[in-house]
Amino acid sequence: MVQSNTRQRSPSQELSHIDKKPRLDVETDAQSQASHNAPLTDEPMKAGESSTPKQNPDQKKPAQGQKQKKNSKRKKVKHALPDLCSPEDVISRDVFALLGEETVQKAVEEGLDWNSPFKQKDEVELVVSEMCSSGDSLSIAPAPHPPWIVLTPLALPGEKIRVRIYYNSRLYSRADLLEVVKPNPTLRDMNRVKCKYFGECGGCQYQMLSYETQLDLKQNVVVKAYKNFSGLPGSSVPTVQSTIGSPLQYGYRTKITPHFEVRPKDIKAKDSIEPGTKPDWLRIGFNKVNTKFVMDIEECPIAAPVINEAYGPLREKIVENIFTYKRGVSLLLRESLELSPTSVSTTTDTLPKADSDITMDTLSKDMEKKVCITNHKGTVRERVGDFLFEYGASSFFQNNNSVLVPLTSYVRDAIFPPSSSTPSDPSGSASSNLNPTHLVDAYCGSGLFAITLSPYFQTIAGIELSTESIKAAKRNAELNNLPSGKCSFLEGDASNIFTTVQSFPRSETVLIIDPPRRGSDEKFVDQMIDFGCSVVVYVSCNVHTQARDVGMILRKSQEKMKEKGKEYVLESLRGFDLFPQTAHVESVAVLRLIDSPRPVDVTQS
Ligand SMILES: C[S@@+](CC[C@H](N)C(=O)[O-])C[C@H]1O[C@@H](n2cnc3c(N)ncnc32)[C@H](O)[C@@H]1O
């Protein structure tokens, strides 16, 4: 069982153990020479596009010949601007917004945008101004420092904090939190913290906040993402609705992947480990906040109970066998349903392959027992409402089962607003022009949206890059007794789907897009606009790439559909909390194809 480990400590005590770690103060050549994504024609410009590289004052005049060439090469190294929508870019835009456009412009013009007033390890006292979309806090460096921002994890607006600088970037520095000198009691309550590693483990950022505040912060991340990355005027972006919370706020994660490194080189003999103990050098867990150093973690309160039950024995096995590992390993622990009611084990890493004779009819919800799968090649089973899913343990599936019925129901209601009737929904009585019958599920994984929405559509087509996920999607259609021929699942790049669904009636077709964090691409957007279905629901675990893509869709549809007198509009926007206690937010954008408003012909009046 997961113990609630709420501890009565002052915030400063709670955070005082954040330790020293080696940091890079300047970019490596590899970082600074990293290639940028070629900007898409419709992408908004990067804030402060120009960069002024600093001159190295120690650099001597180059000598003749070869040496000169080498030096001139070195001179050309510039500070790389972050890739569009990268985590660094997301932070930069929040930093620039807090400093203000004029201040940023002035710093750029004067070549001071990379001139940090801080050195590595400087300790500074600050007052937090606001939260960054990354979940860190943003503070303005106090006078007499020039305009500069400090990004610090685990601090909250209004708090006075003491920090140690470890990295300088463009117009901001990153710092470790040393102490919350004056907490903000309206936001922070350390009694809410349920994890003894909170503040040190990089997994959670928000345990000290009320759940309501967490949801508000996530709503604001969606607002800022559309401001910063969509390139759309405010009039084209609807009010972002309040974030829909997760029914479970702890014990919800159905997958964790703790890892460990092999023994250090100076540890030689197996018999240096006392039987039944774990050596200090062996740390099995997650990365420390803002580092790649693994810290030892014995339990994770946001993980499902069955995962925590299985994790202890798994850790013991690793200690026993640590000298057999040649490399560091990422473990996999995934909650799964066990089909056999007779099994008593909570851990199974050799689940049998899906039996072809198991269908929904043979499953009773009461008989379902949770187990933990640790075999990367195992099969995971999961229920979402009335539907059952099976997928490979290493494949993608949403990691918070408790929110999947609310999420899929929300998508359904967005497609069929309460006033509309659907062919398979006997309760829908009101008439509407909208009567979708066909669904395209792009980036479909193992069929989550296609299958949960199957009662509402006559024909469904899904596409997905992963061979294993496509196999799972086909299997899931059978498992849930979908009539053969109703659902087709194709393996391939998402943009290939449009050639295969040419027979779908455009005005009665809905498209769901749920791409990975990097978002969709121009090739896909061009084809979806040529196709022109009536409703698009864009689900995303990265609201920044979603905002970029939605901006592109709206602009391209205005250009390309002008002749038809149609365009896409962004109808609604809302965050979903799939990861309580963390800064992550899932975002659902609903786009609808409408008749373009005709410009008023003033000549005829
Ligand atoms: C965020 S997951 C969504 C999966 C599914 N909709 C779900 O909710 O379970 C994104 C999926 O896109 C797939 N994917 C990545 N790139 C793709 C591409 N270019 N074309 C099609 N699928 C892709 C990944 O394999 C992954 O399964």
Tell how far the Cα of 495 is from the centroid of ligand 1, in angstroms: 12
Q: Is 464 annotated as a binding residue?
A: yes
Is 0.95 exceeded by the ipTM? Answer: yes
Tell how far the Cα of 177 is from the centroid of ligand 1, in angstroms: 37
497 lines ligand 1 (CB under 6 A): no
What is the per-residue pLDDT for 270?
A: 63
Helix ranges (H only) for 152-249 are: 211-229
Pick the residue whose CA is nearest to atom 4 on ligand 1: 445
Residue ranges of E strands in 365-495: 369-373, 379-384, 387-392, 438-442, 459-464, 487-491
Q: Which atom of ligand 1 is nearest to the CA of 396?
A: 27
Q: Is 357 annotated as a binding residue?
A: no
493 lines ligand 1 (CB under 6 A): yes
Tell how far the Cα of 520 is from the centroid of ligand 1, in angstroms: 10
410 lines ligand 1 (CB under 6 A): no
Tell how far the Cα of 517 is from the centroid of ligand 1, in angstroms: 9
pTM of the model: 0.84
396 lines ligand 1 (CB under 6 A): yes
What is the per-residue pLDDT for 341?
A: 47
What is the per-residue pLDDT for 264?
A: 85
Tell how far the Cα of 508 is from the centroid of ligand 1, in angstroms: 24
408 lines ligand 1 (CB under 6 A): no
Task: Give Cα separations from 546 to 181, 383, 514, 560 (angstroms).
Answer: 38, 28, 10, 20
Q: Is 398 annotated as a binding residue?
A: yes
What burial class does residue 439 get, using C-beta atoms within 10 Å of its C-beta: 0-12 exposed, 13-18 middle, 19+ buried?
A: buried
Q: What single string gives the DSSP state of each residue in 516-541?
A: -TT---HHHHHHHHHH--SEEEEEES
428-475 pLDDT per residue, tens: 333 345 689 999 999 999 999 999 999 999 999 999 999 999 999 999
Tokens of 463: 């596409």
What is the per-residue pLDDT for 167?
A: 96
Q: Which atom of ligand 1 is nearest to the CA of 493?
A: 20
136 lines ligand 1 (CB under 6 A): no
514 lines ligand 1 (CB under 6 A): yes
User: Which of 443, 444, 499, 514 has most ligand 1 atoms within 8 Å of its beta carbon, as the pocket-test mutant?
Assistant: 443
Pick the residue whose CA is nearest to atom 8 on ligand 1: 448
What is the per-residue pLDDT for 266?
A: 82
397 lines ligand 1 (CB under 6 A): yes
Task: Give Cα separations from 541 to 237, 398, 420, 545, 586 (angstroms).
Answer: 19, 10, 29, 9, 4
Q: What angle do CA 192, 408, 243 make, to 5 degrees?
A: 40
The whole-angstrom separation of Cα 215 and Cα 403 is 14
What is the per-residue pLDDT for 273?
A: 75
Tell how far the Cα of 73 is from the centroid of ligand 1, in angstroms: 41
Tell how far the Cα of 324 is from the centroid of ligand 1, in angstroms: 35
The whole-angstrom separation of Cα 299 and Cα 306 is 11
* Local mean pLDDT, 10-residue blocks, the chain (605 residues): 30 31 29 26 30 28 41 59 95 98 97 97 98 98 97 98 97 98 98 98 97 98 98 98 98 98 80 79 95 95 98 94 91 90 39 38 65 97 97 98 98 85 41 76 98 98 98 98 96 97 97 98 97 97 98 97 95 98 98 84 47
What is the per-residue pLDDT for 597?
A: 84
Q: Which atom of ligand 1 is nearest to the CA of 397?
A: 9
Q: Which helix (H) or strand (E) holds 559?
A: helix 543-560
User: Which of 465, 495, 500, 540 has most ligand 1 atoms within 8 Å of its beta carbon, as the pocket-test mutant?
Assistant: 465
515 lines ligand 1 (CB under 6 A): yes
User: Which of 464, 539, 576 has most ligand 1 atoms within 8 Å of its beta carbon, as the pocket-test mutant?
Assistant: 464
444 lines ligand 1 (CB under 6 A): yes
Catalytic residues: 541
Q: Is 456 annotated as a binding residue?
A: no
Task: Give the CA count within 13 Å in the CB-facing half-sphere of 111.
Answer: 5
Pick the residue whose CA is nearest to atom 16 on ligand 1: 465
Q: What angle do CA 530, 535, 540 make, to 5 degrees?
A: 95
297-339 pLDDT per residue, tens: 999 999 999 999 999 999 999 998 888 898 999 999 999 999 6
Tell how far the Cα of 431 is from the centroid of ligand 1, in angstroms: 35
- Domains annotated for the chain, with CATH where assigned, are 11-52+62-193 (2.40.50.140), 250-399 (2.40.50)
Pick the residue whose CA is nearest to atom 18 on ligand 1: 493
Note the Cα 425 to chain centre separation in Å. 33
465 lines ligand 1 (CB under 6 A): yes
Q: Round the CA-based radius of gyration of the chain to a whole number and report it.
A: 27
